[in-house]
Chains A and B, each alone.
Chain A
Amino acid sequence: MLPNYLPRPPRGDRPLVVLGISDVVVIEGSPAVPVTMHHVSAWGRWVRDVAIPDDAAARVRRLADRYDVVWASEWGHNAHTAFAAALDLPEEPWPFLPVQFDKLDRIRAYAGDMPWAWIDGPVVDLHDPGDVTDGVLVRVDPGAGISGVDLDLLDARIAELSR
């Protein structure tokens, strides 16, 4: 884990779904799915106009209904607050891991014995994560983000882990 950073521990009663932001919730470049531009802010310190898939809020909600969602991105704690309105997120922020690249070790350390899945874009892999058998690794199409993830298949793969 990052020295001197202690993330809020997982609830421990449900599998984890770890979400990146860029390429997952935010589409950079040409979108392959319908998107809407949102003006997001980090406590007023800065703003960005970002393209978010129109069904991202519903998909994130579906994940949150079944799993503990953890943000893992360079957005830090702003991952939840910046996207709260656009994704209709609950007021209580979800835990976050402030890491931008090669996140696998941090995710494993955070998850411990919990089953986990990690959804992210390919750019975050400065090193090939290789074959991952202790979790579910989902790499999105950057043009579609979370909209392109087969959530039923994800459920099945997570259930397989939990056995």
Chain B
Amino acid sequence: MDTGTAYGLRPGSPLNELAQVGPGTPYGEVLRRYWQPVAKVEDATTRPISLKVLGEELILFRTRKGKPGLLHPRCIHRGASLFYGGVEEEGIRCCYHGWVFDTEGHCLEQPCEPEMGLHRDRVRQPWYPVQEQYGLIWAYMGPPEKKPLLPRYDTFENLADDEVLIVNDKGVGGGGPEVLDFNWLQHWENVMDPFHVPILHARFSGNQFTPEMALIPEVSYEYTPTGVRSIQMRELGDGRQLRRVTEVMFPNLRVVASPKLASGQTNMIGWVVPMDDTNFRIFTVARDSDPDFLLKLRSTHEGKPWKELTDLEHQRLPGDYEAQKSQGDISLHTEDHLTTTDQGIAMVRRMMAKQIRLVANGGDPAGVVFDEDSRVVRIEGGNYFEGAADAPLLAEAVED
């Protein structure tokens, strides 16, 4: 008799406590305790744009005096969308009856009301505080009394004269489209899975990175105060070792050094920012003297960019997008058979569960910064070559 058939198979379910991001969801409340990048600085203009972040619809604009604002879209008067509003010197004017709100939701005018609104100071358009840093607009969407400092990262401090900060919101590191259409956790936890690299990014797709990355590494895992770290050692066969350090930092940072193996501390950090439970964006900041550095980093498949692949080529040359998207819009985590190569992922999920408990019990999750002296965060991720200094790489990096 056949055994183990699919007859009667009952599908599992997502670990929604970890995956969901909306208001009031367990990990959604963790995500809200941190500043999140929501747009590039140049996207905040006098033309309002719609954003969706952590399941919330928002309107982003910049006043004519230059101040960015992030408001709930439904005008508190009668619900018309501020997407159609007109941006002025001090704020945004609703298209319907002209109520004006500043960047903190204060109502400045109610033009159809006596004396421009005798009680305009008693209403408030819901808003979120925003800051600008590293070329990004950052929003804090959590409880006001718990608002932390916006951290700085040592990776991006003290630029050399020929260096610039480069910002990308088009999914660098994810492969696939600009808006990634599956649950964010499938991408973020993948950062702690070094074992997929020699299989997915070499054996299946040909060397998407460098031949060194096709070597199966020896890995050590550790918890850090702000996340989980893996250290991957590869013997390069020429007397050198490659110590590649990769981190996830809570709540959603990916610290993945260039897979083209630029030496030293990583020059880039990515933020995996959910739009909702089944869509996310990746905001990446890098420092380099080449303003096209991030564009050149995008994976290719037998030399072709992802968006130019045919359906057959997507099947024959799968990358991160195909593997992670095919887990499902939200993966059925309860079906996972966690085994040897999943230790890093298990550690991430476990630390997520701890942050959920911390936040639910009134505590502060890992890595939130309130003290100015602790504001600059040390980044350990990078590619560190050790051993014989002069030996060349196994081969030239795969060219785009």
* B354 in contact with A123 (CB, 8 Å): yes
Residues of B within 8 A of A44 (CB): 218
Q: How large is the interface on B (under 10, 10 to 19, 20 to 34, 35 or more residues)?
A: 20 to 34
* B223 in contact with A28 (CB, 8 Å): yes
* B222 in contact with A74 (CB, 8 Å): no
* B343 in contact with A100 (CB, 8 Å): no
Residues of chain B touching chain A, judged by Cβ–Cβ distance below 8 Å, are 4, 9-10, 12, 15, 17-18, 26, 195, 218-223, 230, 334-335, 337-344, 346, 349-350, 353-354, 356-357
CA distance A113 to B218 in the complex (A): 43
**Residue of A whose beta carbon sits closest to that of B18:** A126
Q: How large is the interface on A (under 10, 10 to 19, 20 to 34, 35 or more residues)?
A: 20 to 34
**Residue of B whose beta carbon sits closest to that of A127:** B17
Find residues 1-15 in chain A having any chain B CB closer than 8 Å to their own CB. Answer: 2-5
CA distance A48 to B222 in the complex (A): 6
* B343 in contact with A123 (CB, 8 Å): no
* Number of interchain pairs (Cβ within 8 Å): 81
- The A contact surface, by secondary structure, is loop
Residues of B within 8 A of A114 (CB): none
Query: Pick the contact of A76 from B222, B338, B344 — CB < 8 Å?
Result: B338
Query: Pick the contact of B339 from A49, A76, A101 — CB < 8 Å?
Result: A76
**Residue of B whose beta carbon sits closest to that of A105:** B334
CA distance A92 to B9 in the complex (A): 32
CA distance A20 to B346 in the complex (A): 13
* B339 in contact with A98 (CB, 8 Å): yes
With A47-B220, A75-B346, A123-B353 already in contact, 16 other A-B pairs whose C-beta atoms are closer than 8 Å: A3-B335, A45-B218, A45-B340, A45-B341, A46-B230, A47-B221, A74-B338, A74-B343, A74-B346, A74-B349, A74-B350, A76-B339, A77-B340, A101-B15, A126-B26, A126-B353
CA distance A46 to B9 in the complex (A): 33
* B343 in contact with A46 (CB, 8 Å): yes
* B338 in contact with A100 (CB, 8 Å): yes
Q: A3-B335, A45-B219, A126-B353 are in contact. Are A74 and B340 (CB under 8 A)?
A: no
CA distance A98 to B220 in the complex (A): 21
* B343 in contact with A42 (CB, 8 Å): yes
Q: Hey, what's the 0/1 contact readout for A40-55 against B, CB within 8 Å counting as 1? A: 0011111111000000
Residues of B within 8 A of A123 (CB): 350, 353-354, 357
CA distance A98 to B340 in the complex (A): 11
Residues of A within 8 A of B10 (CB): 3
Query: Pick the contact of B9 from A3, A74, A78 — CB < 8 Å?
Result: A3
CB-defined A-B contacts under 8 Å, sample of 11:
A3-B10, A4-B4, A46-B219, A46-B344, A47-B221, A74-B349, A76-B339, A77-B340, A98-B337, A101-B353, A124-B353
* B220 in contact with A48 (CB, 8 Å): yes
Query: Pick the contact of B346 from A2, A4, A100, A122 — CB < 8 Å?
Result: A100
Residues of B within 8 A of A46 (CB): 218-221, 230, 340, 343-344
**Residue of A whose beta carbon sits closest to that of B10:** A3
A5 shortest CB reach to chain B, Å: 6
* B340 in contact with A78 (CB, 8 Å): yes
B152 shortest CB reach to chain A, Å: 27
CA distance A98 to B338 in the complex (A): 6
* B340 in contact with A43 (CB, 8 Å): yes
* B337 in contact with A49 (CB, 8 Å): no
CA distance A48 to B334 in the complex (A): 25
Q: Hey, what's the 0/1 contact readout for A47-91 against B, CB within 8 Å counting as 1? A: 111000000000000000000000000111110000000000000
**Residue of B whose beta carbon sits closest to that of A23:** B350
* B221 in contact with A48 (CB, 8 Å): yes
**Residue of A whose beta carbon sits closest to that of B9:** A3
**Residue of A whose beta carbon sits closest to that of B332:** A3
A81 shortest CB reach to chain B, Å: 10
* B223 in contact with A74 (CB, 8 Å): no
Q: A76-B338, A98-B337, A126-B353 are in contact. Are A45 and B223 (CB under 8 A)?
A: no
Q: Hey, what's the 0/1 contact readout for A119-154 against B, CB within 8 Å counting as 1? A: 000111011000000000000000000000000000
Q: A2-B335, A3-B335, A101-B15 are in contact. Are A75 and B353 (CB under 8 A)?
A: no
CA distance A127 to B17 in the complex (A): 9
**Residue of A whose beta carbon sits closest to that of B343:** A46
* B340 in contact with A49 (CB, 8 Å): no
CA distance A127 to B354 in the complex (A): 13
Residues of B within 8 A of A5 (CB): 337
* B9 in contact with A48 (CB, 8 Å): no
CA distance A2 to B334 in the complex (A): 8
A31 shortest CB reach to chain B, Å: 14
A48 shortest CB reach to chain B, Å: 5
